[in-house]
Amino acid sequence: MFEIFLKLYKTRLQILLVCFLVALAYSIVVTFYFSNSKESVIVVRNIKNNLLILTDITDESVEPKNDKNLFFIDTFRMQLKYKQARALKIGKRPACAIESAAILNPHLNIYAVYITREKRPKLQLTPELSALIQYPNLKFVFINHNSFPIGSPLGSFFINNHEITKSQYVIAHMSDAYRLLILWKYGGIYYDTDVISLKTAENTPQNFACDDGEGVIVANGIMRLDTHKGRTLAEMFIKYMTENYDADEWGTNGPIVITKVLSEICKTESISEMVEMENCDGFYVLPRKICYPIPWSRWKGIFNENHVDKMMSLINDSMTLHLWNNLSKRRKIEVEEDNLFNRIAKDKCPNVFGAMNQDF
């Protein structure tokens, strides 16, 4: 009887020892995995009930510094009809864009910024979001629209101009305004949420935007402004936008603003001449092959299996691939299709691509 008891006791000790070692190993792995940065620990602590609670961008732990920033901005919640209390779900295309930027720009802080009126906005912890939070240079933050603009060049405009909140293009117009405000305040790079990174942006000029691919305007979907010369330029862009705001036009308050101001600075209305000038009083207009190798008029080729090799040849010198989401957002993608997007996504946002399902 004593021998049976002793054997059971030893077995129980062995089980407890194994459990202890497993727990210790798990603790070491988790500690090592998330010890790359303070921000990673913050992300883990902010996950509750399968929701990621966003951090205010003005919080000292995450606030941007030193112009070494790359921003993505989501203004979806600025629609008046949007229910603020509901947790937001990150889209697959934005998730791919964000992951590609985090991988290819390891020395930049990548910010996924959500503009809201809430105090504690949340994101659903989807497989795509789970694939993103592992990156130590990636931060999920929010900007409170009721307080952040106060004291800025856009403060009085946001407070006194109610046209922007009532516009049918409120998401686009808020995005046009906030990208300028964020770059004015913090300096860095701005990418639209449908811009996939193909190469690093760390070595680009401190102040630039790009030919839109059609040679008609200087687009604002990819741009960089620093906190020196760039801040003055941002103020000029903001001044023109607020003085000429049109709630009924989609692009008047975005790329048209950039183009009009640069026409005055560069003393020409020709986009090709701006590109050829290279340095236009401290600002660079980069050629379309760098940012928009496939112009909006050819967006269908990005998702067409029959054109994949031709499309691949067009992006050899490119830093980014713009998906022109305003036109292509209804285009469903099957992950097994052999098109340009899928080839790029497999390589540039591998974890997010692995989390994608059939409906994209």
DSSP string, 119-158: SS-EEE--HHHHHHTT-TTEEEEEEETTTTTTTSTTHHHH
Q: Which of 165, 59, 163, 153 is nearest to 111 (CA)?
A: 59
Under the banding of pLDDT at 50, 70 and 90, the label for residue 48 is: confident
| Ordered alpha helix ranges (H), 105-246 | 127-132, 155-160, 163-166, 170-186, 229-243
| pLDDT (mean) for 334-340 | 88
DSSP structure class, residue 87: P
10-42 in b/e burial notation, b at 16+ Cβ within 10 A? eeeeeeeeeeeeeeeeeeeeeeeebeeeebbeb
Query: What confidence score (pLDDT) does residue 28 get?
Result: 38
For 20, half-sphere exposure in the C-beta direction (CA atoms, 13 angstrom radius) is 6
| pLDDT (mean) for 100-121 | 95
Q: What is the pLDDT of residues 148-197, one digit of tens each?
A: 999 999 999 998 888 888 888 999 999 999 999 999 999 999 999 999 99
Q: Are strands 69-74 and 188-191 parallel, antiparallel or unpaired?
A: parallel
Under the banding of pLDDT at 50, 70 and 90, the label for residue 47 is: confident
Per cent of the chain over pLDDT 70 is 85
Query: What confidence score (pLDDT) does residue 46 get?
Result: 82
Query: What confidence score (pLDDT) does residue 37 get?
Result: 47
Query: What confidence score (pLDDT) does residue 161 get?
Result: 82
For 317, half-sphere exposure in the C-beta direction (CA atoms, 13 angstrom radius) is 7
Of the given ranges (79-88, 113-122, 247-256), which has the lowest mean pLDDT?
A: 79-88
Query: What confidence score (pLDDT) does residue 87 get?
Result: 87
- What whole-number distance in Å separates Cα of residue 358 and Cα of residue 100? 21
> What's the mean pLDDT when you consider all of the chain?
87
